[in-house]
Amino acid sequence: MGAYVLRRLWQMIPTLAGVMLLIFVLFNWVGGDPSLVLAGKITNKEQIENIKKQLGVDQPAYVQLGYFAFEVATGFTCTWKSFTDKPEPPKTDPKADPTTDAKSDAVKATAQTKSGCQAVRSWATNEEVPKILTTRIVPTLTIMIPVLILETILGVILAIGVAYVRGSLTDRMIMMVCTVAMSVSFLVYIIVAQYIFGFQLGWFPVQGWSDSFWKNITYYAPLPIMLAVFVGLAPALRLYRSFFLDEINNDYVRTARAKGVSEKTVMMKHVLRNAMIPILTNIGIALPGIFVGSFLLETFFSIPGLGREILVAVNRSDFPVIKAATVYLAMVTMIINLLVDVLYKAVDPRVTFK
Amino acid sequence: MSAVLNASHTPPPPAAPLHQVSPGLWQLAWRRLKRDKVGIVSLVVVIFFLLMMVGSYTGLVAKNWSKEVGVSYANPSFMAGAENLEAVRTKADANAPKIEPVDLSDIDPLAPRYAEWAERTAKIKTTEVKRAESLAFGGDKWGRDVLQKAIKGAETSIFVGLFAALFATIIGTTLGAISGYMGGKVGDLLEWFYNIFTSIPYILLILAFAAVFASSPQLAAYKGVPMVVAILAFTGWTGIYRLVRSEYIKHASREYVKAAQAIGASDSRRMFVHILPNVSHVCLVQLSQHVVQFIKAEVILSYLGLGVPVDSVSWGTMLAEAQSELVIGKWWQLAAAGISMAILVTAFSMLTDSLRDALDPKIK
Amino acid sequence: MDNLLEVKNLNVKFRLDGNQIFEAVKGISFNVPKNSTVALVGESGSGKSVSAMSIVRLLPKETAIISPNSEISFEGRNLLKLPEQDMRNVRGKAISVIFQEPMSSLNPVFTVGDQIAEVLRLHTKMTRKQAWARAEELMHEVGIPNPKLRMNSFPHELSGGQQQRVMIAQAISCEPKLLIADEPTTALDVTIQKQILDLIANLQQRHSMSVLFITHDLAVVGEIADHIVVMQSGEIKEKGTAKAIFEAPTHPYTKALLSCRPSVLERPKRLPVIDDFLRPEGVNKENLVQRKRGYEPNDQIVLEVNNLSKKFMLKDGLFKKREVAAVKDASFKLARGKTLGLVGESGSGKTTVGLTLMRLHAASGGEVLFDGVDLLKLSEKDFLKYKRRIQIVFQNPYASLNPRFTVGQILLEPMKIHSIGVDDQERIGLAMALLKRVGLPDVSFYKYPHEFSGGQRQRIAIARCLTMKPDVLICDESVSALDVSVQAQVLNLLQDLQDEYKMSYIFISHDLAVVKYISDQVMVMSEGDVIEVANSDEIYLHPKQEYTKKLLGSIPKGWQETAAA
């Protein structure tokens, strides 16, 4: 198994390189010159100049790719320029806009750093990108981990029940309801639920977040969590039901019946154990998504999570944040996929690590 | 009609003596579909929506969706007598700046866009002499007919869903066919490509594409519908690729393909003449599934302001307006967009299920 | 004699798509006496498996309808009227079942020990520990080596034969009175089949139970059955003691079944088929004249294969690759108008030889000389000219024809590729003539493959090859998936075509009797090695290698042999 994990890690290198290449092509070529991108979004000329220098937009493509690779390698904590260039003497532009806000001070501050290692910063807020990502991930996971757990447990339980009465009127009705429920946009659910439970009934806060985990999970998170579980349940139920039905048609189920095993035990022991294999695959596919979270929920309920942060960055064309989030989450995804594949062995004895 | 279906897929042998050609698999599938009541009803609903889309595109229906025919937030005709404070206020102070019903700007990331939207809408504004107090399904803030808006919005959303799904299917099928059939170095390269796209969480991938496309000066000319179609197609082909690839791997080792190889059929002939018709039903089901998925995605993208601009209304932009309307009790725009979308998507999903059942080639 | 099981007037229907009803079993009656083996014999669609599954009520509830007038009486109780709870106590305890595919019939995620112990825990009062210990004894009894260790194995870690032994251990664990064996050896190699048959016969004696043995192959049950029930399309054609059925069959269908399967002892010019027995004048005596087989010294050699080998690469360890040889240095000659039989068990590499020599697989070494040209060295373009001269008919008639093509398109395609015939008109004429030659009506031209039966599809596949007038035809298990009566017809067709066109055949099969019947020379393969090549009669009468002897010893002998012994 050690050899297997090593080989898988080795295989991640070209994929990660590909992800970086894709991001690079997208943001540096298609995205274009940051001064044009940011025109109208950031008015501070000095800042734009600084950004252009950081990116080295006047350099050939391979040098720019080198910068980017360096940023990824150092975990976005160091930018190439500040590392190689001699620290420049602080340039104070006499014509600088006197109303320059704190952001521009921060720009000056970075220029003066002498440590030689300076984190990549957001174009819009000048906050350090690694810090943005690490602080925003906590609220997202506070919402998404309970969602994933609840959705899986409820989905599996309901799916067994529905598969047990397969073909009956109950089964058909539930499937019909699922199809209809799935056809309503997530947006509509959020808008209506926030209106009814937040504004009208006042059972839950309309929105908000705090610094206390306990308050968040008991006060702010329940409505978003319940919404996400409710909306995710219908597709999960349909999918899991199909997994159970696929298994029921297998020969080993006939054998179990021929042994005199009751229909209930057939479902709960023989079928469930086998259906766990595709279910686990499905969870593995969904797992990386919890880090982005439901950006819609975070937006509506003012949860300072990663999803909302990325959305804000998209709206502001704040490329460093999007680039860093994408590369990091791609790495996380690859690691999770590897973990899920190793976990597979626990549910499927046929798996061998080659 | 079955003869037509047949002709398009399996031309009868040329110069054959006049003879009834047996029904092919497509025809048999069509017969099975015809027996499936749910499937047929769904098909009728989907066709109705498609006709509506064509009608609204050519201007036969909902031509005047942007005309301000009613008072602000005109009531739906079935509750015509209800109080409409907004209209009264608007009338009373016609020159006053537009009132935000409830200020959501601090929680709403799109707050900066409202000004932009309002500005654009103002451009289309025409002076109306007489405004109706009530409209069939109510009016929006500017007194536009919500029902017409929903029809026009359907046009945009379905158009985006259909074309994005079509392009995604074409990309996914082509790459999947090449990768599955050829394997080897080419297959590895495409697998690498696929791995890159799937190792980035889907939502993030869409947002990254949207961010870049939206801010790219070169692509500025394609803003709006073409750009949404491109974003969805470029990010949404991976599932189809995976499926088509595995189908091609399966079929390439089937005996009928080996037999074709044995009689000397070329690679391209085996790929497209022999295997493609046998996996086309998979592509069709995927296409239909992705239409649904992309319609939903378009709605969300447009809501977020990353989709179509407000002057070409879609269900998503309608929902964006509806959010603040609901707080002041004007629910009809939300209902119109939400319900019309739910009906189409339900019908499309059920049609997909029926298609899958009808095309399931058990008889092979 | 007491009957353990009495099936009376059993009628089973199935609901099909579109409210159609299909009557699978049409009111049959038969008995299973105590302590005896009854064989239910029939071809596909005869209703034999449906009848057996009705006994334990394992037919799909949603679609199967058992007529209320039917009665299945087991030890005086009507099983069809038993409440589900009581029925569960019958299954696995009084009546147990083993199935055709042991691999898929065992639950892949539980150890075999767990699965055997599960039955014991269900039907006896044994503790977990006792059940486990008993399961181990049972594993030992069914002949699984090192049972203590194997108890913790998962099904996929066992061979096919061992999996079937586990199924049997599971079935006999509660000392059932009746064991239903539904084609238990069909998916197994012939040497394993022999072992499993012996095991079942042995256990039947030792546990004094009755066995209901379902099979399509009369020869298999010759040695073990006391009574035989012959079924065809849902009806019983004949029933009686094994002796009566084998020695004095009365129904033409039984007669046909008995004689259309090739025997290793005889080689009639043509095999008798069902129609022969339905005609008043009976089998044409001329067809029963024995045919002489074997290569002659002055035979013209059309194909010479020297040291053909094929290796596959498997991933192994971190970055290593492991080489697996599917074929090692196979050499043989094929004479014009003669048949070379390639015989071996699964994994012997016999199919790989066929695919490699016509370049459907890339060879790893050796040469294939055809007309003095090494086919393996030709460029793809040069090889195209030779392609039409070597053709292949595959095993699975349901997979070898493109389901989206009409038969006409299937037949015209090769002619177009190789520019046979001046125009489509002429090609259609040729195709029509070939359809007629392989025994299919003209209208077939406009039909799709799904409208044909397995045997008819094989005829279409043969016709497709004939359009190119090949010199060499490779038959890769071409008759293995067919019912015996259809198999005989297709074998006769192949023989007629060989006589007419002087084609050479490479006949690949696991079925020793069929290979013996059709081949002039036989090549025995095992695990990629060529064990022995010799003239057909020579190899069957005087096998030189141990493996060949073992293989030949496993051929089901049928009734005659037992009687003689």
Q: Terminus-to-terminus CA distance in chain A, angstroms?
A: 8
Inspect the interface and report whether the beta carbons of A259 and C91 lie closer than 8 Å. Answer: yes
Inspect the interface and report whether the beta carbons of B12 and C18 lie closer than 8 Å. Answer: no
Going by C-alpha positions, the residue among C294, C305, C359, C313 that lies closest to residue C329 is: C305
Of residues A270 and B20, more confidence is placed in: A270
Of residues C332 and B79, more confidence is placed in: C332
What value does the mean pLDDT take over residues C218-245? Answer: 89
Inspect the interface and report whether the beta carbons of C392 and B258 lie closer than 8 Å. Answer: yes
Residues sharing a CB contact under 8 Å with residue B254, sequence separation 6 or more, in sequence order: C399
Specify the pLDDT at position A112. 44
Going by C-alpha positions, the residue among C148, C138, C130 that lies closest to residue C207 is: C138
Inspect the interface and report whether the beta carbons of B326 and A191 lie closer than 8 Å. Answer: yes
**Do C10 and C54 contact (CB within 8 A), yes or no?**
yes
Chains adjacent to B (≥3 CB pairs closer than 8 angstroms): A, C
Specify the pLDDT at position C178. 94
Q: What is the DSSP string of B249-296?
A: HHHHTSHHHHHHHHTT--HHIIIIIIIHHHHHHHHHHHHHHHHHHHHH
A189-203: per-residue pLDDT in tens? 888 888 888 877 878
Inspect the interface and report whether the beta carbons of A18 and B218 lie closer than 8 Å. Answer: no
Distance from C-alpha of A255 to C-alpha of C92, rounded to nearest angstrom? 9
- Collapsing DSSP to helix, strand or coil, B49 comes out as helix
Residue A334: its chain B contacts at CB < 8 A?
Answer: 199
B255 min Cα distance to partner chain C (Å): 4
Tell me which residue has tokens 């105590």: C34
pLDDT surpasses 50 at C315? yes
Inspect the interface and report whether the beta carbons of B24 and C428 lie closer than 8 Å. Answer: no
Q: What number of other Cβ atoms are within 10 A of residue C334's Cβ? A: 24
Sheet containing C529-535, strands listed edge to edge, beginning at the edge strand earlier in sequence: C390-393, C472-476, C504-509, C339-343, C521-526, C529-535
Put simply, whether A109 touches B (Cβ < 8 Å) is no
Of residues C154 and A73, more confidence is placed in: C154
Q: What number of other Cβ atoms are within 10 A of residue C499's Cβ? A: 11
Domain limits, chain B: 25-59+145-359
Of residues B224 and A248, more confidence is placed in: A248
Residue A179: its chain B contacts at CB < 8 A?
Answer: 346, 349-350, 353
Inspect the interface and report whether the beta carbons of A31 and B341 lie closer than 8 Å. Answer: no
Specify the pLDDT at position B132. 64
- Collapsing DSSP to helix, strand or coil, C266 comes out as coil
Distance from C-alpha of B232 to C-alpha of B237, rounded to nearest angstrom? 8
Backbone angles phi, psi at B137, to 5 degrees: -125, 35
Residue B342: its chain A contacts at CB < 8 A?
Answer: 180, 183-185, 188
Bridge-based pairing of strands C37-42 and C210-215 is parallel
What value does the mean pLDDT take over residues B225-240? Answer: 91
Put simply, whether C255 touches B (Cβ < 8 Å) is no
Strand segments (E) across C83-150: 95-98
B190 min Cα distance to partner chain C (Å): 20
Burial of B180 (0-12, 13-18, 19+ CB in 10 A): buried
Q: In A, residues 66-95, which contact B (CB 8 Å cutoff)?
A: none
Put simply, whether A144 touches B (Cβ < 8 Å) is no
Burial of C117 (0-12, 13-18, 19+ CB in 10 A): buried
**Following CA atoms C189, C193, C195, C201 in sequence, which dihedral angle do they give, to the nearest 10 degrees?**
170
A110 forms beta bridges with none
A214 DSSP assignment: H
Share of residues in chain A with pLDDT > 70 (%): 79
Q: Could you tell me the pLDDT band of residue A158, with boundaries at 50, 70 and 90?
A: very high
Inspect the interface and report whether the beta carbons of A191 and B215 lie closer than 8 Å. Answer: no
Bridge-based pairing of strands C3-15 and C21-33 is antiparallel
Inspect the interface and report whether the beta carbons of C428 and B361 lie closer than 8 Å. Answer: no
C376 DSSP assignment: G
Of residues C402 and B60, more confidence is placed in: C402
**Do B102 and B354 contact (CB within 8 A), yes or no?**
no
Q: Which residue in C58, C62, C123 is closest to A258 by CB distance?
A: C58
Of B66-80, C79-93, C351-365, which gets the smallest average pLDDT? B66-80
Specify the pLDDT at position A311. 86
Distance from C-alpha of C433 to C-alpha of C427, rounded to nearest angstrom? 10
At B40, the amino acid letter reads I
Q: Which residue in B202, B216, B322 is closest to A30 by CB distance?
A: B216
Going by C-alpha positions, the residue among B171, B175, B152 that lies closest to residue B163 is: B171
Angle at the Cα of B108 from the Cα atoms of A193 and A234, rounded to 5 degrees: 35
What value does the mean pLDDT take over residues B153-175? Answer: 92
C392 forms beta bridges with C474
B177-218: per-residue pLDDT in tens? 999 998 889 999 999 999 999 998 888 888 888 888 877 777
Inspect the interface and report whether the beta carbons of A195 and B305 lie closer than 8 Å. Answer: no
Up-side HSE of residue C83: CA atoms within 13 Å toward CB? 2
Q: Could you tell me the pLDDT band of residue C353, with boundaries at 50, 70 and 90?
A: very high
Q: What number of other Cβ atoms are within 10 A of residue A239's Cβ? A: 14
Render the burial of C216-247: b for 16+ CB within 10 Å, e for the rest.
Answer: bbbbbbbbbbbbbbbbbebebbbbbebeebbe
C484-496: per-residue pLDDT in tens? 888 999 999 999 9
Specify the pLDDT at position C434. 92
pLDDT surpasses 70 at B361? no
How is residue C61 written in tokens?
A: 């509830």
How is residue A16 written in tokens?
A: 């990660």
What ipTM, to 2 d.p.? 0.83
Inspect the interface and report whether the beta carbons of A349 and C108 lie closer than 8 Å. Answer: yes
Going by C-alpha positions, the residue among C58, C161, C149 that lies closest to residue C102 is: C161
B25-46: per-residue pLDDT in tens? 788 888 888 888 888 888 998 8
Put simply, whether C428 touches B (Cβ < 8 Å) is yes
A226-236: per-residue pLDDT in tens? 888 988 899 89
- Collapsing DSSP to helix, strand or coil, C383 comes out as helix
Q: What number of other Cβ atoms are within 10 A of residue A27's Cβ? A: 25
Residue C99: its chain A contacts at CB < 8 A?
Answer: 251, 254-255
Residue A354: its chain C contacts at CB < 8 A?
Answer: 315-316
B235-284: per-residue pLDDT in tens? 999 999 999 999 999 999 889 999 999 988 889 999 999 999 889 888 98
Average pLDDT, whole number, for chain B? 78
Specify the pLDDT at position B11. 41
C312 forms beta bridges with C324
* Cα C148 to the center of its chain, rounded Å: 34
Residue C97: its chain A contacts at CB < 8 A?
Answer: 255, 258
Of B291-300, C323-332, C417-426, C549-558, which gets the smallest average pLDDT? C549-558
pLDDT surpasses 60 at B129? no
Count of residues in chain B? 364
C385-411: per-residue pLDDT in tens? 888 899 999 988 888 899 889 999 999
What value does the mean pLDDT take over residues C458-469? Answer: 93
Inspect the interface and report whether the beta carbons of A26 and B193 lie closer than 8 Å. Answer: no
Inspect the interface and report whether the beta carbons of B305 and A207 lie closer than 8 Å. Answer: no
Specify the pLDDT at position C170. 92
Backbone angles phi, psi at C239, to 5 degrees: -140, 150
pLDDT surpasses 60 at C131? yes
CB pairs under 8 A between A and C: 77
Q: Could you tell me the pLDDT band of residue C13, with boundaries at 50, 70 and 90?
A: very high
Specify the pLDDT at position C51. 93
Distance from C-alpha of C335 to C-alpha of C532, rounded to nearest angstrom? 18
Q: Which of C404, C424, C465 to mutate to test the interface with B (most CBs of B within 10 A)?
A: C404
Residues sharing a CB contact under 8 Å with residue C60, sequence separation 6 or more, in sequence order: none
What value does the mean pLDDT take over residues B107-124? Answer: 62
Q: What is the DSSP string of C45-93?
A: TSSHHHHHHHHTT-S-TTTEEE-TT-EEEETTEEGGGS-HHHHHHHBTT
Q: Which of B2, B255, B266 to mutate to test the interface with C (most CBs of C within 10 A)?
A: B255
Distance from C-alpha of C476 to C-alpha of C474, rounded to nearest angstrom? 6
A88-119: per-residue pLDDT in tens? 444 444 444 444 444 444 444 444 444 456 67
Inspect the interface and report whether the beta carbons of C388 and B363 lie closer than 8 Å. Answer: no
pLDDT surpasses 60 at B22? yes
What value does the mean pLDDT take over residues B328-355? Answer: 84
Q: What is the DSSP string of A93-136?
A: -TTS-TT--HHHHHHHHHHH--SS----B-TTT--BHHHHHHHH
Q: Which residue in A252, A260, A277 is closest to C106 by CB distance?
A: A252
**Do A244 and A163 contact (CB within 8 A), yes or no?**
yes
**Do C103 and A244 contact (CB within 8 A), yes or no?**
no
C56-95: per-residue pLDDT in tens? 999 988 888 999 999 999 988 999 999 999 999 999 999 9
Inspect the interface and report whether the beta carbons of A254 and C99 lie closer than 8 Å. Answer: yes
At A318, the amino acid letter reads D
Q: Could you tell me the pLDDT band of residue C460, with boundaries at 50, 70 and 90?
A: very high
Specify the pLDDT at position C459. 93
Inspect the interface and report whether the beta carbons of A261 and C88 lie closer than 8 Å. Answer: yes
Range of A103-112, B218-227, B328-337, C153-162 with top mean pLDDT: C153-162
Going by C-alpha positions, the residue among C358, C304, C356, C360 that lies closest to residue C327 is: C356
B119: left (phi over 0), alpha (psi -120 to 50) or beta: alpha
A8 min Cα distance to partner chain C (Å): 9
Q: Could you tell me the pLDDT band of residue B357, with boundaries at 50, 70 and 90?
A: confident
How is residue B120 written in tokens?
A: 């654009």
Bridge-based pairing of strands C339-343 and C301-316 is unpaired
Distance from C-alpha of C352 to C-alpha of A116, rounded to nearest angstrom? 65
Inspect the interface and report whether the beta carbons of A22 and B196 lie closer than 8 Å. Answer: yes
Residue B283: its chain C contacts at CB < 8 A?
Answer: none
Specify the pLDDT at position A53. 66
Average pLDDT, whole number, for chain C? 88
Helix A61-73 and helix A2-24, axial crossing angle in degrees, nearest 10:
140
B254 min Cα distance to partner chain C (Å): 6
Q: In A, residues 166-225, which contact B (CB 8 Å cutoff)?
A: 179-180, 182-188, 191-192, 195, 199, 207
B143 min Cα distance to partner chain A (Å): 22
Q: What number of other Cβ atoms are within 10 A of residue C544's Cβ? A: 12
Inspect the interface and report whether the beta carbons of A6 and C119 lie closer than 8 Å. Answer: no
Put simply, whether C444 touches B (Cβ < 8 Å) is no
Average pLDDT, whole number, for chain A? 79
Up-side HSE of residue B137: CA atoms within 13 Å toward CB? 17
At B59, the amino acid letter reads G
Q: What is the DSSP string of C367-393?
A: EEEETTEEGGGS-HHHHHHHHTTEEEE
A273-320: per-residue pLDDT in tens? 999 989 988 888 888 888 877 888 888 888 888 888 888 888 877 888
Task: State how far the alpha carbon of C90 is from the alpha carbons of A252, C23, C83, in Å.
Answer: 19, 27, 11
CB pairs under 8 A between B and C: 105
Chains adjacent to C (≥3 CB pairs closer than 8 angstroms): A, B
A60: left (phi over 0), alpha (psi -120 to 50) or beta: beta
Put simply, whether B361 touches C (Cβ < 8 Å) is yes
Specify the pLDDT at position A77. 66
Q: Which of C448, C467, C474, C508 to mutate to test the interface with B (most CBs of B within 10 A)?
A: C448
pLDDT surpasses 90 at C38? yes
C257-311: per-residue pLDDT in tens? 888 888 877 888 888 888 888 777 777 777 777 888 888 888 889 999 999 999 8
Tell me which residue has tokens 């497209």: B272
Residue B343: its chain A contacts at CB < 8 A?
Answer: 183
Specify the pLDDT at position B81. 65
Specify the pLDDT at position A317. 79
For the stretch B6-11, contacts whose Cβ atoms lie closer than 8 Å and that sit 24 or more positions apart, written own/partner, are: B9/B277, B9/C404, B10/B277, B10/C404, B10/C405, B10/C406, B10/C409
**Do A5 and A337 contact (CB within 8 A), yes or no?**
no
Inspect the interface and report whether the beta carbons of A330 and B109 lie closer than 8 Å. Answer: no
Instruction: Report the topology of domain B25-59+145-359.
Output: MetI-like fold (1.10.3720)
Distance from C-alpha of A26 to C-alpha of A216, rounded to nearest angstrom? 37
Specify the pLDDT at position A114. 44
Q: Which residue in A250, A258, A349 is closest to C97 by CB distance?
A: A258
A40 DSSP assignment: T
Residue C464: its chain B contacts at CB < 8 A?
Answer: 259, 263
C97 DSSP assignment: E
Inspect the interface and report whether the beta carbons of A180 and B322 lie closer than 8 Å. Answer: no
